[in-house]
Structure 1
Amino acid sequence: MATRITLGDGAKASFWNDAWLQGQCPKLFAPALYNISMRKNRSVKEALAHDTWLMDLRSGLTEQMTDELTNLAALLDDVQLQPDEHDSIVWRFSQKGSYSARSAYILQFEGAIKFDCHHLIWGAWATGKCRFFVWTAILSKILTADVLLRSNNYFCPLCMRNLETTYHLLVDCPWSRLVWDAIATMTKLPSLELATWNDSSDLKTWMNMRFRLAQADNRKKVLTVMHLVLWEIWLERNRRIFSLDSRQINVFLKKVADEIHHWNMAGAGIPFDPG
């Protein structure tokens, strides 16, 4: 329950709907009785006065209802209202114990998986499909060798010699490294140059390093280029698997150059020298 209730005069707490009875909500441990109650919104004070809650019940109790009635009545025997004190209802999810829209909003994310690299996704000028792909790739959720293992085909389709993982396919494959080296020259973005790469084993770390090595005014451009190239490498991989068609690296780079041109026409602002 989101609230904790300390019973006083019983005027504020709801008899059926609040967790006031030994920390429990009566409708949860006596659901059959709750269903036949004709007045479900009475306060504790109203319900206990002259056993009004009992008179609110429709006739014709079943065996389950009788058991619930016996248990509920036994718990109510120990209840003593405090006429001189108000009920205290405390919101459990704020330090002050009072409800706020902010605390309720934060509560929605309890148990959520935190993603600490949102800047790598939203900092780029990129199409929605590219953002989504890079997000799933960072989470290692793209369908790589783990799926292909079912058909005993787990080699990288770009180099045909290493186990295909997200990081190998998109970054560390010899074919992909040649692509990134050419792209660094084409876009004149030094943080993409192979000489700046250090040992890393996952896409998130690699992208973060490229992002942080870039000058402040180039960071968005670097992210944008990474989104575009990662997406194009993924498309090339799928082309080789599903269409049995592979492009030479110079043809692939021409395709990337065309995409950069199209993205720039739409406002991406990628520095570009086709050479």
Structure 2
Amino acid sequence: MIALDLPKWVIKAINKQRRGFLWKGQEKANGGLSIHNLEALGTALRIRWLWLQKTDASRPWTGLPTQVPNNAHALFNVAVGSIVGNGQNTKFWTDRWLQGKTIVELAPNLSQLIPKRALKQRTVAQALAGRRWVADIKGALTVQVLVEYLSIWDLVDNLVLQHDVPDQHRWRFSQSGTYTSKSAYELHFMGCTKFGPWKRVWKTWAPLRCKFFIWPAINNRCWTADRLANRGLQHPAACPLCDQAEENIQHLLVECVFARQVWLEILQRLHLETIAPRPSSNHFSKWWRQAMRSVAKEHRKGLNSLIILVTWEIWKHRNDCVFNSARPSVVAVLQMVANESALWCSAGAKHLHTLLLRSLTSTP
């Protein structure tokens, strides 16, 4: 992928195979599962050639034309800023060296009068020598072109090059200022809607199957009665646990009186009853965020594990009631939570273990 553009049919065929065993999606921070977009990944890897060509003249191929797609060139031009020293490795018209912008951006009408060869190849050193950039202008000078011409003249006329200082190029989307394939890949998704609780979901100690439940639960993608009804499928007439309201995943986890009783019983034993869901709690993710902020910092990771555990057991008990005709039982859920928490602690959930031990005598 770093050497060649994958044909569209190859990407389509690979994605078809990937969908056979897992969903496709965006980065976890954007609400996906971090399954890479192959087209964006290929572009990010190809940008590396442009970066090395710009920053490492010792490479024997840097003087040769590179077969890089236009979208890679466009992203590279956005991502790289230049600090002019001797001006020999910075393009006058197209590099981002003047007030953090390119001259093409500062003077778009003027740039249209520059021949393509000069536009792409003229360096700052060449352009400033004898004001050669002025000679690059070909065509009729309209009022707007003259205004832009005078503006550029004012910006560059007094510029003094440092002949013993090489130009510097900085990758603007990494802290080190150096290209990384990760930052180039993430550049494709700037502006995407962020999935706020992604760290609470994916960085918390919990079995993966529980995380795979909590992720669609927060996104309202669980097959509760409301979603089944919207698709004309058979569904429970009311919440299987409380039989008082129509079922949806937000109701099931924090609004249902049965779920609230489970949360209160568990959190009371840990002296954390003040963070239990209240009748006004109607959004699981918001309640989770508020609860996490209400406890001491050293307990937050353990609390996150506990919340995932309890929601998982509530969901399993709901399914037992729906599919196995079990009777709703708070005692049964509490026992399942106790048994499962012991297994989690034995398997390495050290922050949950700390919470269960220390909260017996401490307050939030």
Give the TM-score band, short-chain normalised: 0.5 to 0.7
Query: 2:324 corresponds to which letter in structure 1?
Result: S
User: C-alpha distance in 2, partners of 1:172/1:160?
Assistant: 12
8 Å CA contact retained: 1:120, 1:207:
no
2:255 is the alignment partner of 1:167: no
2:190 is the alignment partner of 1:155: no
2:137 is the alignment partner of 1:86: no
Query: 1:238 corresponds to which letter in structure 2?
Result: N
Larger Rg: 1
User: C-alpha distance in 1, partners of 2:244/2:292?
Assistant: 30
From the superposition, tell whether residues 133 and 84 of structure 1 become closer, same or farther in structure 2 (CA, over 3 Å): closer
* 3-state DSSP of counterpart to 2:121: coil
Match of 2:101 in 1: none
CA deviations 1:164-212 (Å, max 9, x no partner) are: 1111101111111110111112333345445xx4834311101001100
What are structure 2's unaligned runs of at least 5 residues? 1-42, 48-62, 75-113, 124-170
From the superposition, tell whether residues 192 and 126 of structure 1 become closer, same or farther in structure 2 (CA, over 3 Å): farther
2:291 is the alignment partner of 1:210: yes
Match of 1:228 in 2: 309
Equivalent position to 1:264, from 342, 345, 349: 345
Offset at residue 100 of structure 1 (A): 3.2
Q: Percent identity?
A: 29
Instruction: Out of 240-249 and 156-165, give the one that drifted further.
Output: 240-249
* 3-state DSSP of counterpart to 1:151: coil
From the superposition, tell whether residues 200 and 182 of structure 1 become closer, same or farther in structure 2 (CA, over 3 Å): closer
Query: 1:100 corresponds to which letter in structure 2?
Result: Y
From the superposition, tell whether residues 117 and 18 of structure 1 become closer, same or farther in structure 2 (CA, over 3 Å): closer
Match of 2:220 in 1: 140
User: C-alpha distance in 1, partners of 2:220/2:332?
Assistant: 28
2:251 is the alignment partner of 1:182: no
2:233 is the alignment partner of 1:130: no
Offset at residue 12 of structure 1 (A): 6.5
8 Å CA contact retained: 2:224, 2:249:
yes
Match of 1:63 in 2: none
8 Å CA contact retained: 1:180, 1:192:
no
Offset at residue 232 of structure 1 (A): 0.3
Match of 1:105 in 2: 185
From the superposition, tell whether residues 85 and 182 of structure 1 become closer, same or farther in structure 2 (CA, over 3 Å): closer
Offset at residue 80 of structure 1 (A): 5.8
**RMSD of aligned residue pairs (Cα, Å):** 3.8
Q: What TM-score, normalized to structure 1?
A: 0.61
From the superposition, tell whether residues 12 and 157 of structure 1 become closer, same or farther in structure 2 (CA, over 3 Å): same
Q: What TM-score, normalized to structure 2?
A: 0.47
8 Å CA contact retained: 2:255, 2:279:
no
From the superposition, tell whether residues 191 and 222 of structure 1 become closer, same or farther in structure 2 (CA, over 3 Å): farther
User: C-alpha distance in 1, partners of 2:116/2:309?
Assistant: 68
* 3-state DSSP of counterpart to 1:108: helix
* 3-state DSSP of counterpart to 2:266: helix
CA deviations 1:14-59 (Å, max 9, x no partner) are: 7x9766xxx9xxxxxxxxxxxxxxxxxxxxxxxxxxxxxxxxxxxx
Query: 1:173 corresponds to which letter in structure 2?
Result: C
User: C-alpha distance in 2, partners of 1:151/1:84?
Assistant: 65
8 Å CA contact retained: 1:13, 1:87:
no
User: C-alpha distance in 1, partners of 2:210/2:276?
Assistant: 22
Query: 1:257 corresponds to which letter in structure 2?
Result: A
